[in-house]
Amino acid sequence: MPAAGTEPGIGYGIDRRHRAALLAGLLPALLLLVALTLAPALYLFVISLTPATPTNPASLTDFSAPAQNYVSALGDERFIESLWVQVKLSVSTVVVQTALGLGVALLLNRGGRLVGALRTVFLIPTVLPPIVAALIWKVLYTPDVSPLHRTLASVGAPVASLITNPDTALWAIAVADTWQWFPFTMLIILAALQVVPREPLEAATVDGASPLQLFFYVVLPFIRPAIVVAALFRLIDSVKAFPLIYVLTSGGPGTATQVTNYYAFTQAFNYAYWGYASAISVVLTAAVFVLSALIGSRGARAAAHE
């Protein structure tokens, strides 16, 4: 109820007009977002409710058993196994890339032309197209042509192919992925390191804090949000790992490196099970959303706490 003497609705009207103006300004971008991002995602979900396959056009609109693909996925051992492979690859690459990125960022967090040049050199793998990075590692991991294998063989220490051994194939992929992407985490963390204020560092130094104490009690709290963001980006990207696996192992030997993304690819493009592959992709996307939300909220809480 407006107070007596005031003009009811004026402020409300201004707010409304303001909001309408904002909405009108945002509308083109929102429409573009819906058309380019949400609509295809929605279509993916719709297709996942059908037994779609290109050989039977009627299957694209067959919604008689909408949960069938999801039920099938739950009972599909190869899908479950691919999730486990995905977890191993994602956890290992995210942990190693974040730790390595942090370490190298700490080393490079100083002035000087040499350090500046080193930063650029470290970034080269990240700017390579993924397929080029995959080809580089394909050469390195192929005993016939690999300078690595040849050198080791020439000094009397031949090494069996790493990508055809089920015990090493996934880790060989993780190494290649780390080579390409740890500079990305390094870059984000380095940027955060460079804006850590000097005052608390100087105060702690005056109080006699050791370098380790400085790092854990002063620097780390400042850069933690950046580390979380970098890890989150890598986690999301690790789920999309494809070129390395496609080029290096094709998911093998057997299914030792068949991550969920690759499994969905074979279902869609080798077997033409579009509906089933879409269901797998929806599950994968949902899992990434949930994980991202969890990590993001924990990171935000930790930052707020500090």
Partner 1 sequence: MSSLLSGNRRRVLKGAAALGAYALSGPGARAAGKPFEGVELNVSCWSAPFPKLLQGYLPEFERLTGIKVNYDTPGFLIYNQRVDLELSTRGSSYDVLNITFIYVDRWLRAGWFAPLNDFVKDEGATPRDWDVDDFLLATRKIMSDKQGNLYGIPWTCDCYMAAAGRYDLVTQAGLGMPTTFDEIEKVAAATNKDGVAGFLGDNRHGWNFPPYLQGFGGNVFRRPPDDLMPTLDTREAIAAADFYSHLLRDYGPNGVLSYSYDQVTAALKQGRGNYATEGHIFLMPAADPDSKEAKTVRYSMFPKGPAGQFPGFATHAWGIPVGAKNKRASWEFIKWAMSKEMMMRAVREKGYSSPSRRSVIQSPEFRKRLTLNDNDVSDIYLKTIDLAGGSDYMAYRIVPVFPQVDTIIGQAMERIVSKQMSAAESMRQAQASAIADLKRAGIRL
Is cis: bond before 66, omega within 30 of 0? no
**φ and ψ at 56, to 5 degrees?**
-130, 90
**Which is nearest to 247 in space by CA: 139, 128, 127?**
139
Rounded Cα–Cα distance for residues 32 and 149 (Å): 50
Q: Determine, following the binding rule CB under 8 A, whether residue 270 of this chain makes contact with partner 1.
A: yes
Longest dimension (CA), the chain: 96
- Which one of 23-31, 190-198, 249-257, 285-293 is the stretch in contact with partner 1 (CB under 8 A)? 249-257
Q: Determine, following the binding rule CB under 8 A, whether residue 217 of this chain makes contact with partner 1.
A: no
Output the smallest distance, CB 163 to partner 1, in A. 6
CA–chain centroid gap for 187, Å, is 15
Instruction: For residue 115, count other CB atoms closer than 10 A to its CB.
Output: 12
Contact 295, 98 (CB under 8 A): no
Task: Give the H or E element holding residue 169.
Answer: helix 169-193
The angle, 0 to 180 degrees and rounded to 10, between the axes of the packed helices 113-127 and 169-193 is 140
Choice between 194 and 250, CB closer to partner 1: 250
* Residues β-bridged to residue 56: 53
Q: Which of 43, 216, 271, 289 binds partner 1 (CB under 8 A)?
A: 271
* 3-state secondary structure (DSSP) of residue 271: coil
Q: Which of 78, 88, 119, 224 binds partner 1 (CB under 8 A)?
A: 78
Q: Determine, following the binding rule CB under 8 A, whether residue 246 of this chain makes contact with partner 1.
A: no
Output the smallest distance, CB 41 to partner 1, in A. 21
Q: Determine, following the binding rule CB under 8 A, whether residue 262 of this chain makes contact with partner 1.
A: no
Using CB under 8 A as the binding rule, the residues of this chain from 43 to 72 that contact partner 1 are 51, 53-55, 57, 72
Q: Determine, following the binding rule CB under 8 A, whether residue 253 of this chain makes contact with partner 1.
A: yes
Rounded Cα–Cα distance for residues 105 and 99 (Å): 10
Rounded Cα–Cα distance for residues 303 and 270 (Å): 46
Size of the site for partner 1 (CB under 8 A): 36
Q: Which of 196, 201, 272, 303 binds partner 1 (CB under 8 A)?
A: 272
Q: Which of 122, 179, 265, 273 binds partner 1 (CB under 8 A)?
A: 273
Burial category of 113 from C-beta neighbours within 10 Å (exposed 0-12, middle 13-18, buried 19 and up): exposed
Q: Determine, following the binding rule CB under 8 A, whether residue 255 of this chain makes contact with partner 1.
A: yes
Binding mask 132-171 for partner 1 (x = CB under 8 A): ---------xxxx----x--------x-xx-xxxx-----
Q: Which of 96, 231, 276, 299 binds partner 1 (CB under 8 A)?
A: 276
Output the smallest distance, CB 263 to partner 1, in A. 11
Choice between 163 and 264, CB closer to partner 1: 163
Q: Residues in the site for partner 1, rule: CB under 8 A? A: 51, 53-55, 57, 72, 76, 78, 141-144, 149, 158, 160-161, 163-166, 248-256, 266, 269-273, 276
